[in-house]
Amino acid sequence: MIWLDALEVDQRGVKGNQIWPLQLLIRRKCIPQISLSLHKQRRDLTVMAPPPPHSHRSPSPSQPSGKSEVSDLKSQLRQLAGSRAPGADDSKRDLFKKVISNMTIGIDVSSLFGEMVMCSATSDIVLKKMCYLYVGNYAKVNPDLALLTINFLQRDCKDEDPMIRGLALRSLCSLRVANLVEYLVGPLGSGLKDNNSYVRMVAVIGVLKLYHISASTCIDADFPATLKHLLLNDPDTQVVANCLSALQEIWTLESSTSEEAARERETLLSKPIVYYLLNRIKEFSEWAQCLVLELVSKYIPADNSEIFDIMNLLEDRLQHANGAVVLATIKVFLQLTLSMADVHQQVYERIKAPLLTQVSSGSPEQSYAVLSHLHLLVMRAPYIFSSDYKHFYCQYNEPSYVKKLKLEMLTAVANESNTYEIVTELCEYAANVDIPIARESIRAVGKIALQQYDVNAIVDRLLQFLEMEKDYVTSEALVLVKDLLRKYPQWSQDCIAVVGNISSKNVQEPKAKAALIWMLGEYSQDMHDAPYVLESLVENWDEEHSAEVRLHLLTAVMKCFFKRPPETQKALGAALAAGLADFHQDVHDRALFYYRLLQYNVSVAESVVNPPKQAVSVFADTQSSEIKDRIFDEFNSLSVVYQKPSYMFTDKEHRGTFEFADELGNLSVSAESGDSVVPAQRVEANDKDLLLGTSEKEEGRDPGSNGSIYNAPSYNGSAAPSTTSQPLADLAFPSTGISVQAPSSSLAIDDLLGLDFPSAAAAMPSPPPLNLNPKAVLDPGTFQQKWRQLPISLSEEYSLSPQGIATLTTPHTLLRHMQSHSIHCIASGGQSPNFKFFFFAQKAEAPSMYLVECIINTSSAKSQIKIKADDQSSSQAFSTLFQSALSKFGLP
């Protein structure tokens, strides 16, 4: 009904504009669409975010303003305002609904404020609620009008009906108008003492609202202490739960400035409070139970018997139908037993069934959330789940985000006893209609092959994939066969026989093509027509769009040349010529490098390009164990779903109460150290983005996305063009040679060639007294963590030489320069005139790190430096070093 009313509004609104009879006709014919488009256009002005009165759009014929409707409503409301006639409330209800419906579709009805307030003098609660809704929407943008409502809200706060008291108090606190704060304290104070639990419930959250409008008013009124009292004494559990939420939020925010608040927050984790809440846990609502359980998971029990008491008390929570309660309970169990290996393992066994039940009941969304947690546990302890592999089989109608998790779990739990079944199942998915999943399945087979001892059967399956003649299957299988050969060179005969039959023309995907070319180069002895295949690929050099493929082609032709020189010579010449003319910097560099290397000494060249290789025993894990532990600590949070620790996706201020224990730790440390140091600074949002950018790229689970890696600020290779002018003897180490070639596709190539990046930077001896480690390594995650934890030990401003400024056209020029001074860049960004860099360096003989934030303004030729150091005593020495390095920038 209401919606239809809204349509009438439109029509009448248009009728007012008699100039447009034509449009009126059109409008009538297609009213639903019109109202819809109106709705769309004004979506940003929806109910809860009403437009400021001055900014509303000028009424145009196509956007009926509803003005006449509004004035209609105004006069009708006015008529009813004082009416005590029977049925007046019903007419008011209808009018109020119209007002609110107008508000919903974005029409500004704030001009009715006075009339609405007048009409609110009623005992009809439905009317009151609608009026509160209206007032709540317009008060913030109309503070003057809001003042009008204070009187009647305050009066309602003393109403004899507790519902009205509660509602009025909630509305009063929701006005969010700073200059009305003084009117809140009184009603809140009496609300917290109200004998009705609904009013107290509302009042507790009201205190939190007040805190956000004016923290000092809230603290001065001593409300936190009152909440703490209620937390431990209120008979109503929802009041208790609200006290807990409010106190956590208030004390977390306060603790950044107040020691006392930090201590108060810590007391929430004290035994009396935790036990008090635990003993009443079954009285709480399921949502409040989650809140309490989250708190308990941070509690550190004094001894084992305490641990078992808590676990026994919570045991039946695992049978709860609400997945959130189950996961919160599991978190408590996991955290409590961390130090008891055998019990911890029993916990895994215990939680298996409830988790699986949660995965299969409920909506797909809920089951995904639980499955992500199961995934985390499976990855941590695959052996515990190895007999449950059938639960991880994909169902044909599951969304792909679920299938992906399941494939990873299947890969993880594969062991000697279940591999056959799992691989058979995975092979079924390879023919799946869902191509991304089919690809993942093939990769999963490959991963299982790489982690198993007995790969006989799997190799056969993989080779069968190659014969399936589906493009994507062939592509994925080629990449796998290549990896497999790197680990199990003994399979080369079987694989090569099959790979040799694949026409390179049928392989289009760069990764697959690169893999095929790698095999052609590596096994050119055994593959009869390798030189000719390579030759024809070189002939089509210009049609090859992927730089990755061209790089591989160069290397493969080189390798082939060393093995079968006469047959390959021509192809090599053509490849080098094409490479030297290539527009792609890396391809060009590599070609030039090979060319000079060959010029210098062919046997050295062979030892560089084609050294004897060892089989790769373990492929590098994509995620560091530190990150995995961090995610595990954040069990039952988004970190698990995103597979990233929270610092990678939340701002510090929003990490909220869940970060609790960590921050407590930090705080007590700084208290002990006499508090003379500057408190750990937050990384600014801006820096954060910079760093996040890097870390995400680094964490990216697909190492093949070389395109993006090229721009990654963590420019690791020291492949400045100048390297070629260095004595070639330096390059005789195979590892240096090859890694130098390929900064762009570092990960992909690195992976292919089984080399350990990052490699040698051209180290120049630094002046004493401080020596830096030229090969220092620091991952962005750790950098970020350190940056957050360490205090600033030095903050300085240097001037830059004009030559330096001239050279600083892109951030890369500086970071190459600094790298030559053993100062490495982890992130950089900005455009002229403002550049920003994060550097790190490591003491040569100690693990001690230096972190630097460097902001350069080229127009003022100034740089601002902030240095943080593990070892603060040497930071001055480092600063000198840094300055000297910087001052040499741009000088020949």
Partner 1 sequence: MILQFFVLSQRGDNIVYRDYRGEAQKGSAETFFRKVKFWKEDAEGDAPPVFNIDGVNYFHVKVAGLLFVATTRVNVSPSLVLELLQRIARVIKDYLGVLNEDSFRKNFVLVYELLDEVIDFGYVQTTSTEVLKSYVFNEPIVIDAARMPPLGAASIFMQGTKRMPGTAITKSVVANEPGGRKRDEIFVDVIEKISVTFNSSGFILTSEIDGTIQMKSYLSGNPEIRLALNEDLSIGTSDYRGSGAVILDDCNFHESVHLDSFDVDRTLSLVPPDGEFPVMNYRMTQPFKPPFRINALIEDTGSLKAEVTIKVRAEFNSSVNANTVLVQMPLPAFTARVNFELEPGAVGHTTDFKEANKILEWGLKKVVGGSEHTLRAKLTFSQELHGNIMKEAGPVSMTFTIPMYNASRLQVKYLQIAKKSKAHNPYRWVRYVTQANSYVARL
The footprint of partner 1 on residues 272-331 (CB under 8 A) is 285-288, 290, 294, 318-324, 326-328
Tokens of 616: 């790769």
- Selected from 77, 192, 201, 556, the binder of partner 1 by CB under 8 A is 201
Count Cβ neighbours within 10 Å for each residue of 785-798 and write b for 16 or more, e otherwise.
Answer: ebbbebebbbeeeb
- Which stretch in 75-83, 196-204, 334-342, 816-824 sits in contact with partner 1 by CB under 8 A? 196-204
* Contact flags string 381-420 toward partner 1, x per CB under 8 A: ---------x--x-xxxxxxx-------------------
User: What is the rounded CA–CA span in Å between residue 532 and residue 557?
Assistant: 10
Alpha-carbon gap, residue 777 to 520, rounded angstroms: 34
Give the nearest distance from C-beta 46 to partner 1 in angstroms: 5
Measured N-to-C along each axis, helices 2-15 and 88-104 cross at an angle, to the nearest 10 degrees, of 70
If the CB atoms of residues 382 and 656 are measured against partner 1, the closer one turns out to be 656
Nearest Cα to Cα of residue 850 among 878, 819, 811 = 878
Judged by CB under 8 A, which stretch of 142-150, 195-203, 775-783, 870-878 contacts partner 1? Answer: 195-203
Burial class of 236 by CB neighbour count within 10 A (0 to 12, 13 to 18, 19+)? middle
Q: Is the CB of 11 or the CB of 876 nearer to partner 1?
A: 11
Only segment of 22-30, 202-210, 489-497, 857-865 that touches partner 1 (CB under 8 A): 202-210
In 3D, which of 424, 446, 427 has the Cα closest to residue 438? Answer: 427
Size of the site for partner 1 (CB under 8 A): 106
Segment contacting partner 1 by CB under 8 A, of 303-311, 356-364, 545-553, 748-756: 356-364
Checking 870-876 for CB contacts under 8 A at 24+ apart, the result is 870/786, 870/790, 871/843, 871/846, 872/793, 874/770, 874/843, 874/848, 875/793, 875/794, 875/850, 876/794
Show contacts with partner 1 in window 42-71 (CB under 8 A): 43-44, 46-49
Give the shortest CB-219-to-partner 1 separation in angstroms.
Answer: 18
Q: Interface residues for partner 1 in 357-376 (CB under 8 A)?
A: 357-358, 360-370, 372-373
- Which bin fits 746, alpha (ψ -120 to 50), beta or left (φ > 0)? alpha
CA distance 875 to 867: 7
**Positions in 685-724 near partner 1 (CB under 8 A):** none
Say which residue the tokens 């230096």 belong to.
Answer: 850
- Residue position matching structure tokens 């403002």: 834
Binding positions for partner 1, 419-478, rule CB under 8 A: 425, 428, 431, 433-434, 436, 467-470
Decide: 130 and 94 in contact? Cβ < 8 Å: no
730 in Cβ contact with 689 (< 8 Å): no
3-class secondary structure, 797? strand
Nearer to partner 1, 176 or 588 (CB): 176
Give backbone dihedrals phi and psi of 20, rounded to 5 degrees, phi first. Answer: -115, 60
**263 is an interface residue for partner 1 by CB under 8 A:** no
Q: Would you state the torsion angle of the CA atoms of residues 499, 501, 504, 508, taken in this order, to the nearest 10 degrees? A: -70
* Closest C-alpha among 206, 207, 197 to residue 162: 197
* Interface with partner 1 (CB under 8 A), residue from 300, 353, 581, 846: 353
Kindly state the smallest distance separating residue 829's Cβ from partner 1, in Å: 17
What minimum distance in Å lies between the beta carbon of 675 and partner 1?
A: 28
Closest-CA residue to 182 (of 134, 221, 136, 223)? 221
Q: Which is nearer to partner 1, 186 or 364 (CB)?
A: 364
3-state secondary structure of 842: strand
Is the four-CA dihedral 857, 858, 862, 863 of positive or negative sign?
positive
What is the C-alpha to C-alpha distance for residues 517 and 887, in angstroms, rounded to an integer?
Answer: 46
Check binding of 642 to partner 1 (CB under 8 A). yes
Told to check if 195 binds partner 1 by CB under 8 A, we report no
Name residues contacting partner 1, limited to 549-588 (CB under 8 A). none
Residue 482: φ, ψ to 5° = -60, -50
Identified binder of partner 1 from the candidate list 656, 693, 700, 830, rule CB under 8 A: 656
Residue among 96 and 562 whose Cβ is closer to partner 1: 96
Q: Output the smallest distance, CB 322 to partner 1, in A.
A: 6
Minimal distance in Å, beta carbon 397 to partner 1?
5
What residues from 814 to 873 belong to the interface with partner 1 (CB under 8 A)?
none
Q: CB 334 → partner 1: shortest distance, Å?
A: 14
Does the protein bind partner 1 through residue 1 (CB under 8 A)? Answer: yes
Q: Does the N-terminal peptide bond of residue 713 adopt cis geometry, omega within 30 degrees of 0?
A: no
Q: How wide is the angle at C-alpha 769 spanned by C-alphas 763 and 773, nearest 5°?
A: 30
Question: Is 617 an interacting residue with respect to partner 1 (CB under 8 A)?
Answer: no
Q: Select 658 or 838, whichever has its Cβ closest to partner 1.
A: 658
Binding residues among 210-229 for partner 1 as defined by CB under 8 A: 212
Give least dist CB 203 to partner 1, A: 11
DSSP assignment of 509-524, as one string? SHHHHHHHHHHHHHTT
CB nearer to partner 1: give 93 or 812: 93
Q: How far is the CB of 395 from partner 1 (least distance, A)?
A: 3
User: φ and ψ at 836, to 5 degrees?
Assistant: -135, 135
Residue appearing with tokens 């890396």: 586
String marking each residue 657-686 x if it binds partner 1 according to CB under 8 A: -xx---------------------------
Q: Check binding of 140 to partner 1 (CB under 8 A).
A: yes
- Please report whether residue 253 would count as binding partner 1 according to CB under 8 A: no
**Binding residue (CB under 8 A) for partner 1 from 639, 694, 739, 766:** 639
Q: Which of 9, 14, 73, 101 binds partner 1 (CB under 8 A)?
A: 101
Output phi, psi for 616, to 5 deg. Answer: -75, 125
Rg of the chain in Å (alpha carbons) = 34
Asked if residues 231 and 244 have their Cβ atoms less than 8 Å apart, the reply is yes
Instruction: Decide if 11 contacts 28 (C-beta within 8 A).
Output: yes
Q: Which is nearer to partner 1, 76 or 357 (CB)?
A: 357
CB of 321 to partner 1, least distance (A): 5
What CA–CA distance (Å, rounded) separates 157 from 139?
18
User: Would you count residue 794 as binding partner 1 (CB under 8 A)?
Assistant: no
The interface region with partner 1, picked from 1-9, 584-592, 726-734, 845-853 by CB under 8 A, is 1-9
Which of residues 308 and 649 has its CB atom nearest to partner 1 in the complex?
A: 649
Q: Which residues pair with 384 in a beta bridge?
A: none
Residue among 638 and 732 whose Cβ is closer to partner 1: 638
Closer residue to partner 1, CB minimum distance, 1 or 341: 1
Q: Is 178 in the site for partner 1 (CB under 8 A)?
A: no
- For residue 598, the Cα-to-chain-centroid distance in whole angstroms is 47
| 179 binding partner 1? (CB under 8 A) | no
Looking at the Cβ atoms of 374 and 597, the one nearer to partner 1 is 374
How far is C-alpha 251 from the chain's CA centre? 26
**Between 1 and 618, CB nearer to partner 1:** 1
Q: How far apart are CA 119 and CA 83, in angstroms?
A: 9
**Segment near partner 1 (CB under 8 A); pick from 376-384, 580-588, 650-658, 755-763:** 650-658
To partner 1, the closest distance from the beta carbon of 3 in angstroms equals 5
Of 664 and 755, which has the nearer Cβ to partner 1?
664
CB of 453 to partner 1, least distance (A): 26
Distance of CA 500 to CAs 137, 565, 631, Å?
Answer: 72, 20, 44
